[in-house]
A and B are shown apart, each in its own frame.
Chain A
Amino acid sequence: MKPAPFAYLRARSLAEAFDALDRHGEEARLLAGGQSLIPALNLRLATPAVLVDINGLAGLAGIALQGGVVRIGALTRHAALEASEIVARHLPLLAEAVPQIAHPAIRSRGTLGGSIALADPAAELPACALALDATIVAMGRAGERRIAARDFFRGLYQTDLQPGELVAAVEFPVQPPERRGCVLELARRQGDYAIVGLAAAATVQGDGALRDPRLVFFGVGPTPVRAAAAEAALAGAGGVAAAQAALERDLDPPADLHGPPQFRRHLARVLLGRAAARLLG
């Protein structure tokens, strides 16, 4: 199938992009990496009147270490994340996630900001943002607005972004060395969206306990899901088994072609066990 017709604006400045968003409202879509939007256009699942291409806004790309924060511009491509020394050193969890996203020819175009703004519930990067307590930097004509990742993902493809806003950057707190993380996912084929994925982080104590765990599942609900009950259980006396049991309260996964809800719940428990072993290992 070919896309339905649309007009195209190559934004040369943020102001031009905001103008277009103001003028066309819901009829306009921002084009970043396009690796989710263009398939939707090709399948006529998305039929915007106007496409506002922000790829030319050089200021929106780049990875910088700023004090205790790694600020990553929205237009930073997955391939750049993969190649980044800063990400590898300070955000190892993110570094582990990126190679699991799709395939090389997709990672060369897909962007961090696009993934965060689309908020696909099965995608890796929104879950990583939650697991790493990232802050989403939204930008509108009025300026920047900072939103904690936990407040950003609102529902299925729903975010806290307001009309006229775009994701400008994501700020990730530098992870201290004792803070460990991993990203595990189960997909039928390498590069597919995960049936269930888990971005997990915790501080490992000398006694082998996991303090302040973050367990963020993806592919199991309308948004990336932070498993609060399991986190509490994991930090407590019950350990991994209690955390796995607690997932029953945290997760309400949907049925789909892969299997029924209990299938995903089961896989989530398995991943939790494996993640805990990794973090402790």
Chain B
Amino acid sequence: MDRFVAIRLTVNGEPVEARVDARLHLVDFLREQLDLTGSHVGCEHGVCGACTIRVNGEIVRGCLMLAAQCDGAEVWTIEGLTETGEIAALQEAFVARNALQCGFCTPGMLVAAAELLRREPRPSRERIRDWLGGNYCRCTGYHAIVDAVEQAAAALHGAPAE
């Protein structure tokens, strides 16, 4: 038992070994030790969603997991999801619809939205609003974000069934 913990994990498909301060939360680990600055710190108490990332196939708040807990984990951040092209349709739609302004919420928003589209190919506007209800955006009125997720869903899964 120690204040410092050895972890081995994969981040964006690359193996990582690190020794981390036990108190270091996952998003600080990614940002400070791995220079993956695409995940953002917005509140550090689990409300804003700016640090939303994917761990072991599920979306989590990066500020509500400790790096020490990630031994053996598979972590994907905006950087990796961009490189694999997995969320390209969403990114394309966010740009086309101007679903971002300052961009600080955007990586977390994209990771959360990608999970929705993985589960539900054609969510309604209301469903998109509810799903993203834990991701704070101060710049847009959310409307364009909902538009963009709808557009990405259509691009990925075809026109809605009438």
Contacts and interface: CB of A to CB of B under 8 A. Distances in A.
A191 to B, nearest CB: 5
Contacts of A102: 134
Interface in B38-78: 44-46, 49, 52, 58-61, 63-66, 68-69, 71
Interface residues of A, number: 34
Interface in A83-132: 102-106, 108-109
Interface in A185-217: 189-191
A5 B60 contact: no
B147 interface: no
A271 to B, nearest CB: 20
A252 interface: no
B140 to A, nearest CB: 17
Contacts of B23: 2-6, 41
A9 interface: yes
Contacts, number: 100
Interface string B123-134: 000000011011
Contacts of B134: 102-106, 191
A131 to B, nearest CB: 24
Given A8-B22, A103-B49, A109 B64 contact: yes
A7 B58 contact: no
Contacts of A39: 44-46, 63-64
Contacts of A79: 58
A66 B21 CA distance: 42
Interface residues of B, number: 32
Nearest to A41: B23
Contacts of A103: 49, 133-134
Contact of B131 (A10, A38, A104): A104
Nearest to B22: A8
Interface stretch (A50-58, A146-154, A172-180, A222-230): A50-58
Given A34-B64, A39-B46, A105-B52, A5 B1 contact: no
A38 B49 contact: no
A262 interface: no
A41 B22 CA distance: 12
A225 to B, nearest CB: 26
Given A41-B23, A53-B69, A8 B5 contact: yes
Interface of B: 1-3, 5, 21-23, 25, 28, 44-46, 49, 52, 58-61, 63-66, 68-69, 71, 112, 115-116, 130-131, 133-134
Given A42-B25, A55-B69, A103-B49, 15 more contacts: A1-B44, A3-B25, A6-B22, A7-B22, A10-B5, A10-B68, A35-B46, A53-B66, A104-B59, A104-B116, A105-B61, A109-B64, A109-B65, A189-B133, A190-B133
The 9 closest A-B pairs by CB, nearest first: A103-B134, A8-B22, A108-B58, A3-B23, A39-B45, A105-B59, A9-B1, A38-B64, A42-B44
14 contacts: A2-B23, A6-B23, A7-B1, A7-B3, A31-B66, A34-B65, A35-B64, A38-B25, A39-B45, A42-B45, A53-B69, A55-B69, A105-B49, A105-B112
